[in-house]
Homo-oligomer: A and B are copies of this chain.
Amino acid sequence: MAHKTTLKAIAEHLNLSISTVSKALADSPEISDSTKLVVKTAARQLKYRPNAMARGLKSSRTKTLGVVIPNIMHNFFAKVIVGMEEEAAKNGYSLVTCISNESLQKEKQSINMLSDVSVDAIIISLSSETQQTEELEHLNDILYFDIPLVQFDRIHENLNSHSVVINDFKGAYDSVMHLHKTGCKNIALLSILSDTSVGKKRAQGYEAAIQELGADSKIINTKLEHLEKDLSDFLEENELDGIVTTDESSAIYAMNALRLNKRAVPEDVGVIGFTDGALARNYFPALTTVKQQAEIIGKRTIQLAIESIESKTKLEPVQEVIETELVIRNSTSPVQQK
């Protein structure tokens, strides 16, 4: 068992005091250049690495950020994490990531654990259970202890924290309008997110567009497991030539259901999904999607967190809205010329 070298070890090695070594390594002006050189050389030779825990205990700064997400298998969240990781690393922070798995209970546990290990800030996208029950005590505790909190994507407005979201309203609105321009008359919203904040925003955007067009609102709330059946049932009794879904998998499932019901995409019905992942790009037909700029969301979220940590004064909560972009592929017909 080799010992990790500590300040003490290198101090003894050089017949210096611990504090001299500490200061030398910190490039303190109190220390002469000659000893700095000696110390730094020794440190390198002995492969010295400061113990982050000891340092953290002293300074109550750990240079780690805690993030809790509902689900890593979802392409959007995975991408967000990539953006976060990059931005955090760039600023000398590291990430400890927890997965709530859409469970309030697990989310609470994660928050507690992150608080236990003294992360400098907590970043969260709410689990769907949290959004349903609106139980926020665990998060208010965090705020109470003045630990910077940043919410992203699935947020709760009552929480007094920074947040970064995409413009879900506009994403849905634009989707409906685009389908309309390609000639669709009967456009439905197929949602598996009706109890999350983003699902609600998207529904509002959908409604607004439908209203503006003077069309009939058709919202199908379902779960991924029942989607194909629910959509098939719906098709039996309703006119339908356009579908906006709240995510990527739903769009794929919807297209599969349409195929089974002998409807051609995009000729008979146009389909638009959210989240621009591998499925969307590579399916046949390739899916027209609302691109969420997930990496950018991750980046901005980390930036806000670091700002909060490093500013002494408490800042007013800001809400950052990242615009979406409609990526047009082959699951929608070409826009009709007038």
- Please give the residue numbers on chain A whose beta carbons come within 8 Å of chain B beta carbons, in ascending order: 1-2, 4, 47, 49-54, 56-57, 62, 64, 72-73, 75, 78-79, 81-82, 85, 89, 94-99, 106, 109, 112-113, 115-118, 141, 144-146, 249, 252-253, 256, 259, 278-279, 282-284
Q: Are A117 and B52 in contact (CB under 8 A)?
A: yes
* Contact residue among B51, B85, B109, B115 (Cβ-Cβ distance under 8 Å from A118): B51
Which of chain B's residues have a CB closer than 8 A to the CB of A82?
A: 72-73, 99
Q: Are B146 and A2 in contact (CB under 8 A)?
A: yes
* Contact residue among B89, B113, B283 (Cβ-Cβ distance under 8 Å from A94): B113
Bound CA–CA A224/B80 (angstroms): 22
Q: Are A57 and B53 in contact (CB under 8 A)?
A: yes
A47 to chain B, nearest CB (A): 7
Q: Are B284 and A52 in contact (CB under 8 A)?
A: no
Instruction: Identify the interface centre among A78, A95, A106: most chain B CB within 10 Å of its CB.
Output: A78
Which of chain B's residues have a CB closer than 8 A to the CB of A253?
A: 282
Bound CA–CA A97/B69 (angstroms): 13
Bound CA–CA A57/B51 (angstroms): 9
Q: Are A112 and B282 in contact (CB under 8 A)?
A: no
Pick the 5 closest A-B CB pairs, nearest first.
A96-B96, A52-B116, A52-B117, A252-B282, A1-B146
A28 to chain B, nearest CB (A): 21
Q: Are B57 and A144 in contact (CB under 8 A)?
A: no
Q: Are A96 and B283 in contact (CB under 8 A)?
A: no
Q: Known interface pairs A72-B72, A145-B2, A279-B279. Does A94 touch B96 (Cβ–Cβ under 8 Å)? A: yes
Which of chain B's residues have a CB closer than 8 A to the CB of A49?
A: 112, 115-116
Bound CA–CA A78/B82 (angstroms): 12
Which of chain B's residues have a CB closer than 8 A to the CB of A116?
A: 49-52
A111 to chain B, nearest CB (A): 11
Q: Known interface pairs A52-B117, A253-B282. Does A145 touch B4 (Cβ–Cβ under 8 Å)? A: yes
Which of chain B's residues have a CB closer than 8 A to the CB of A64?
A: 96, 117
A200 to chain B, nearest CB (A): 25
A283 to chain B, nearest CB (A): 7
* Contact residue among B53, B118, B278 (Cβ-Cβ distance under 8 Å from A279): B278
Bound CA–CA A278/B146 (angstroms): 41
Which of chain B's residues have a CB closer than 8 A to the CB of A1?
A: 146
Which of chain B's residues have a CB closer than 8 A to the CB of A118?
A: 51-53
Enumerate 29 A-B pairs (CB-CB under 8 Å) in ascending A order: A2-B145, A2-B146, A47-B141, A49-B116, A51-B57, A51-B116, A52-B116, A52-B118, A53-B62, A62-B117, A64-B96, A72-B81, A73-B78, A73-B82, A81-B99, A85-B98, A85-B99, A89-B106, A94-B98, A94-B113, A252-B282, A256-B282, A259-B284, A279-B279, A279-B282, A282-B283, A283-B283, A283-B284, A284-B284
